[in-house]
Every structure is written in structure tokens, then in C-alpha cells.
Amino acid sequence: MGKLSQEQVNVDLFDEVKRLQEKIRGLENSLKTYKEENDNFEKSTHIEEFLYELNVNDKEEILCLIKANGIEHTFGITEKDAKAFLHIFQMQKMK
């Protein structure tokens, strides 16, 4: 078995340190990505406003407007939707 010179040992150690630093950098990036995705998942939506009309439009919908996280969203609720909601409440009462 041959001996390595101190210079060769230093070069080998330097290369290994560089390889490990790259590996650590990759793991840190993966952890950062995981944390960002987890933070986005954990953020809940806060509805700031909920408005609705007391009449039915020509599409036979009650128009609703919600403001969530500063963005306005509109949607319509049909009679069929309302009956489905009613069914959910009735099923809950039976539990």
C-alpha cells in the first residue's frame, strides 16, 4: 500500500468538503421548498365580506359576493344548491 503525500490528502479532503457542501446546499434548498409549501398549505382563507342579493336573477340564481384575502369573488346559488345545503344540515341533525 502506498502512502499519500500531505498535499494529496489536503486535495482529497478539500474535494470531499466541496462535495459535502453541495449536498448540504441541496438539502437546505429542499427544506426551504418544503417549508414554503407547508406555510402556503397552512394559510387559511379569511372571508372579509359576504354579500348576497335578496332576489333571483335571470339564471335563477341568488348572486353572492365574497371578499377573501382582498380579492372579490362572485358566484350564484341555485335552488338545487340550496336544497343540497339543506340536505347536509338535515343529515347532520340525524347524527
Task: Dump pLDDT digits (tens) for 24-77.
Answer: 999 999 999 888 877 776 666 777 888 888 899 999 999 999 988 778 899 999
Q: State the Cα torsion 85-42-36-45 to the nearest 10°.
A: 50
| Integer-rounded Cα radius of gyration of the chain | 30
pTM above 0.75, yes or no: no
Query: Of residues 92 and 37, which shows the higher confidence score?
Result: 92
Show me where the domains of the chain are located: 1-43, 47-94
What is the pLDDT at residue 53?
84
Give me the pLDDT at residue 42, please: 64
